[in-house]
Structure 1
Amino acid sequence: MVNVGIYLDLRNPAEWRQDWARLYGFTLELCEEADRLGVHSIWTTEHHGFDDGYLSQPLTMAAAIAARTKRARIGTGVTIAPLRHPAHLAEEAAIVDLVSGGRLELGIGTGYRLPEYELFDRADALRTRFSATDASAREIRRLWDTGTITPPPVQERPRIWLGYQGPQGARRAGLLGESLLTANPAMAAPYVDALREAGHDPASARMAGLVNGWITEDPERDWPVVSRHLAHQWDSYHRYAVEGTGAASARPIDPERWRARGLSAAPGHFLLATPEEAARDISAYVAGTPIETVWFFASLSGMSERAVREHVTTLMRLARLVA
């Protein structure tokens, strides 16, 4: 059994630009519909300075989603911890938990872009971002556990998810006794080993994360459109990843090659599948691991409202198949 969620970045590229207020309004409508259809969770993300307006304040958006939904878990995947004081994160997250009636899943991570750290006058913190994120997790947990911040969250112990991708990061999350925000099965062993080493119950292990893909009733029909938006999304990711570093941008992706590689946690893979095909592949992929939730981008970089609505509806059929 695995849960299925949706992932929102609200990108609005110039090539498919729409009214900003409409984009946000439509996204909230989409969340309401996904909640009605039984989506397990809705996750927001964060970047700054993208020309397509990538979502910059995930907890603010999470609060709006909380007010428009009734059942779905609401997570950040991730909010960049070193750019904010832990008390700020603890308070803001508690408000989301209150507004949602106890549905918060707080995911924090390090970020990696120098321009974002510069924007917040934190360029000197980029080098120590992993230890700073660990420290933020510890402090948020302390602030909640001791009742230092008010009002407190609804949940007695809201989950903190660490957005770490490699084995060293998995170990960090385990040592902290928190949840691990990756859907890479290879990270299960170092994560669980670290939980055990630090005296935490290995049965408390929880993993969740992104599956890069698009679920459709007709893959061949949709691929020409999906591939175009996929290329824009990841080419711009790669361009922004090196901004400010002096390094050259990666070559444009080859969507056909990504599709041929199928489902994997490794970069450059893309699952284009029917719900039945995806259910088979995902169930096998997460078997024997603590991965409890996978999520998909609701939209790939500026897709039409019709395509996004159809995708979310189809994802909910996948959710029923893997439940």
Structure 2
Amino acid sequence: MKVGIYFDLRNPPPWQQNWSRLYGFALEMCEEADRLGLDSVWFSEHHGFEDGYLPQPLTMAAAAAARTRRLRLGTAVVAAPLHAAPEIAEQAALVDILSDGRLDLGLGTGYRVPEYRLYGADLGKRYTTTDQRVREIRELWASGRVTPGPLQDPLPIWLGYQGPQGARRAGRLGTGLLSLDPALLAPYREGLAESGYDGAAARMQGSFTTFVTEDPEADWPVVRRHLSYQWDNYRRYMVEGTDQPVPRPIDPERWRETGLAATGVGRFLYGTPETVAEAIRSYVKGLPAEGVFLWASLAGMPEEMVARHVRLIAGTLRPLLADV
């Protein structure tokens, strides 16, 4: 199994630092991941967060492309309905060229009301629009109407669809599925079959909120603070612009205890490389899992901890997952 890291570039007010340093350090970690043999680095997208959540993942991927030589660069995800198909196709092609053919283009629907308002997009048609973006982007590359085109032919497209209906849609479009939820494999394969794809074409990969440490007890007081901020803040933004109440603060102790037994945003892996590797191996058993990417940093975490985390993922965790 391929192992990578994931960045959202959040700069929380309680630990806010110089923006240039924040981005520069993330690029240093991309270089370190490349040097240490990690397989991929992934970037996310959101808009209007008070902590400056990364708004343009393909721009960040272009910067990482210039600083790395081997590891693959992924977006998890570009919110496709917020962007025109030619824009995505052109930016993705440029990143693929700059990286010498190392881009994995992950697309998703997005879901936040304020983001759709900001971009003047139709939230009610987000799945239909995202499906259409996949078709349009492929056609733009195939027809040569976007120049220059990507180096990879085809450039891998992944859909970050969740739930059985979304998994089926990804299958029908013949894309990879950016999820490692075992419950989605059957509908994903059904969708592939409906469009005439071989079931063996199924490809899945995804992320876990994770912190790997050689000393779980010593690191926990710091980790729990950043874990709480990351998810309390994120869950507040999930319901912004709706009539849904703000979710209660998470219980970090419970998240630590439940680990992979939980689902959705309650899924948090914390422990030694051996503990985390065993949990991942058990969870993805039987899936056509090409890779997993783990959060490099929990929002605002000190640089020393992030650097140690990345090195531990590369040097100890990755070899433990090599035969999965």
Alignment correspondent of 1:258: 255
Alignment correspondent of 2:223: 226
Matched residue pairs, number? 320
The answer to whether the 8 A contact 1:174-1:195 is kept is yes
Instruction: Answer yes or no: is 1:127 the counterpart of 2:106.
Output: no
Instruction: Answer yes or no: is 1:315 the counterpart of 2:307.
Output: no
Distance between the aligned counterparts of 1:82 and 1:10, measured in 2? 22
Alignment correspondent of 2:17: 18
Instruction: Answer yes or no: is 1:139 the counterpart of 2:111.
Output: no
Distance between the aligned counterparts of 1:137 and 1:290, measured in 2? 22
Q: Secondary structure at the match of 1:292?
A: strand
Alignment correspondent of 2:176: 179
Alignment correspondent of 1:41: 40
The answer to whether the 8 A contact 1:184-1:265 is kept is no
The answer to whether the 8 A contact 2:208-2:267 is kept is no
Alignment correspondent of 1:286: 284
* Structure 1 segment 237-252 matched on structure 2, within 5 A: 237-252=234-249
Distance between the aligned counterparts of 1:176 and 1:210, measured in 2? 22
Q: Secondary structure at the match of 1:4?
A: strand
The answer to whether the 8 A contact 1:183-1:211 is kept is no
- Which amino acid is 1:142 matched to? E
Q: Secondary structure at the match of 2:124?
A: coil
The 1:264/1:296 distance shift into structure 2, 3 A limit, reads farther
The answer to whether the 8 A contact 1:185-1:291 is kept is no
Alignment partner of 1:275 out of 273, 294, 299: 273
Alignment correspondent of 1:170: 167
Alignment correspondent of 1:305: 303
CA positional deviation for 1:230: 0.5
Instruction: Answer yes or no: is 1:216 the counterpart of 2:216.
Output: no
Instruction: Answer yes or no: is 1:106 the counterpart of 2:105.
Output: yes
**RMSD of aligned residue pairs (Cα, Å):** 1.0
CA positional deviation for 1:186: 1.5
The answer to whether the 8 A contact 1:213-1:270 is kept is yes
User: Could you tell which deviates more after superposition, 51-60 or 191-200?
Assistant: 191-200
CA positional deviation for 1:320: 1.3
Distance between the aligned counterparts of 1:127 and 1:321, measured in 2? 43
The answer to whether the 8 A contact 2:214-2:272 is kept is yes
The answer to whether the 8 A contact 1:5-1:39 is kept is yes
Q: Secondary structure at the match of 1:239?
A: helix
Q: Report % sequence identity.
A: 59
Alignment correspondent of 1:73: 72
CA positional deviation for 1:201: 1.7
Q: Secondary structure at the match of 1:295?
A: strand
CA positional deviation for 1:264: 4.8
Distance between the aligned counterparts of 1:144 and 1:205, measured in 2? 23
CA positional deviation for 1:36: 0.4
Summarize deviations over 1:287-318 as a string: whole Å, max 9, x none.
21112111111110100100000010111120
CA positional deviation for 1:86: 0.7
Alignment correspondent of 2:57: 58
Distance between the aligned counterparts of 1:117 and 1:129, measured in 2? 10
Distance between the aligned counterparts of 1:195 and 1:227, measured in 2? 41
Q: Which structure 2 segments of 5+ residues have no match? A: none
The two structures have a TM-score, normalised by structure 1, of 0.97
Summarize deviations over 1:124-182 as a string: whole Å, max 9, x none.
x1010011000001111111222221101010101111010111100000000111111
Alignment correspondent of 2:91: 92
4+ runs deviating over 6 angstroms: none
The 1:295/1:264 distance shift into structure 2, 3 A limit, reads farther
Distance between the aligned counterparts of 2:262 and 2:188, measured in 1? 16
Distance between the aligned counterparts of 2:262 and 2:75, measured in 1? 19
Distance between the aligned counterparts of 2:33 and 2:209, measured in 1? 19
- Which amino acid is 1:283 matched to? R
The answer to whether the 8 A contact 1:171-1:190 is kept is yes
Distance between the aligned counterparts of 2:290 and 2:149, measured in 1? 27
Q: Which structure 1 segments of 5+ residues have no match? A: none
The answer to whether the 8 A contact 2:97-2:151 is kept is yes
